[in-house]
Amino acid sequence: MTDQQILLKKLLTQRHWQTYSTFCKEYDKAAKKVDPSLQGGWPLFSTANSVEHELRTQPAPARGAGPTTEIGALPHMADVTAVFSSRSAFSSTYPASALLDRAKEINAAGLSLNMLCQNYPDHQLRRLLESGTRIRCLFLDPNGQAIRAREAEEGHIENTLTTLTALNISVLTRLRDRLDPASAQRLELHVYDETIRFNILIVDRALCVVQPYLPQARGVDSPTLVIRDNTAAEGLFPVFDQVFTEMWERSKHV
């Protein structure tokens, strides 16, 4: 059997459809003609360690990144393109610069929002804002009860998370104060005081990164979902887009 060439592989090679993303695009073209409901229900041929991630710029994964799993074949998760076992594995594969450098709209909600405040340089944020990018940041209120409950749940010394979050908010308020009025208006900072469930990053209303907060576990140990909106009927993108919107509407301005 090892000497026999798989027919599907031969056909894909002849048409230069070897990459999974190319195959999915051609699959959708054919599905649209036959049965539009089949769009987005691509078969899964790759292994868990040979996943092709799809971002706007399709950056190459960093060496040494943690394992991922591709979910493209599951109809109820048709827009989940990758799953990481932890935030550190995700960050190694997709650094902040790969996600944000060309963004026109960034919506972020979570606890301290370290990706924006600690992992992305001030001058890059300033460049985005001055070039027209809108950034909305929703922090867990450092003066609220929910952050203290989370602090206790994670087993931190008192004020560990509150101090970090207050520091990150001050980083962005200081940046906002140095911007021209038009650019400053594009940086919106809000806080909320609710039980924290997710860290959500939405870029250009097309790419969503979701990290749940697990009981008695640090946020860095959370699994991470990468979701790309493809208008799939059973997709998760609109779910988390709505979660952010509703949280933002309940929050208060900083």
Q: 159-179, pLDDT tens digit by residue?
A: 999 999 999 999 999 999 999
Instruction: Let me know whether 60 and 174 are in one domain.
Output: yes
**pLDDT (tens digit, 9 = 90+) per residue, 178-189?**
999 999 999 999
Instruction: Let me know whether 135 and 237 are in one domain.
Output: yes
Report percent pLDDT > 90 for the chain: 57
2-16, 21-35, 106-120: least confident range: 2-16
**Amino acid code (one letter) for 228:** R
Q: pLDDT at position 49, please?
A: 41
pLDDT at 242 over 90: yes
pLDDT at 66 over 60: no
Q: 53: closest CA among 98, 119, 103, 8?
A: 98
**Amino acid code (one letter) for 133:** T
**pLDDT (tens digit, 9 = 90+) per residue, 222-235?**
899 999 987 766 78
The reply to whether 49 falls in a domain is no
Residue 22's domain spans which residues? 1-39
Residues 116-128 have a mean pLDDT of 96
Instruction: Let me know whether 66 and 97 are in one domain.
Output: yes
What predicted TM-score, i.e. pTM, was given to this entire model?
0.71
Q: pLDDT at position 23, please?
A: 66
Residues 59-81 have a mean pLDDT of 53
- Greater model confidence, 54 or 109: 109
Q: pLDDT at position 10, please?
A: 66
User: 15, exposed or middle or buried, with CB in 10 Å at 0-12, 13-18, 19+?
Assistant: exposed
Instruction: Let me know whether 80 and 154 are in one domain.
Output: yes
Domain count, the chain: 2
Instruction: Let me know whether 208 and 248 are in one domain.
Output: yes
Instruction: Let me know whether 145 and 103 are in one domain.
Output: yes
The reply to whether 45 falls in a domain is no
Q: pLDDT at position 57, please?
A: 43
Q: pLDDT at position 230, please?
A: 79
Instruction: Let me know whether 170 and 245 are in one domain.
Output: yes
Report percent pLDDT > 70 for the chain: 69
* Crossing angle between the packed helical segments 146-154 and 160-177, to the nearest 10 degrees: 130
Residues 140-161 have a mean pLDDT of 94
Instruction: Let me know whether 147 and 205 are in one domain.
Output: yes
Strand partners, 34: none
Q: pLDDT at position 221, please?
A: 74
**Amino acid code (one letter) for 225:** L
Instruction: Let me know whether 188 and 93 are in one domain.
Output: yes
The domain that contains 117 carries what CATH number?
3.30.870.10
Q: Compute the distance between CA of residue 47 and CA of residue 88 in angstroms, rounded to an integer.
A: 21
The reply to whether 47 falls in a domain is no
Residues 110-126 have a mean pLDDT of 95
Q: pLDDT at position 92, please?
A: 86
Instruction: Let me know whether 1 and 106 are in one domain.
Output: no
Mean pLDDT computed over every residue of the chain: 82
The reply to whether 50 falls in a domain is no
- φ/ψ of residue 201, rounded to 5: -125, 125
Instruction: Let me know whether 85 and 184 are in one domain.
Output: yes
Total residue length of the chain: 254
- Greater model confidence, 64 or 213: 213
Q: Checking DSSP bridges between strand 80-84 and strand 224-228, what pairing results, if any?
A: antiparallel
Q: Checking DSSP bridges between strand 187-192 and strand 134-140, what pairing results, if any?
A: parallel
pLDDT at 45 over 60: no
Instruction: Let me know whether 134 and 196 are in one domain.
Output: yes
Q: pLDDT at position 43, please?
A: 61
The reply to whether 61 falls in a domain is yes
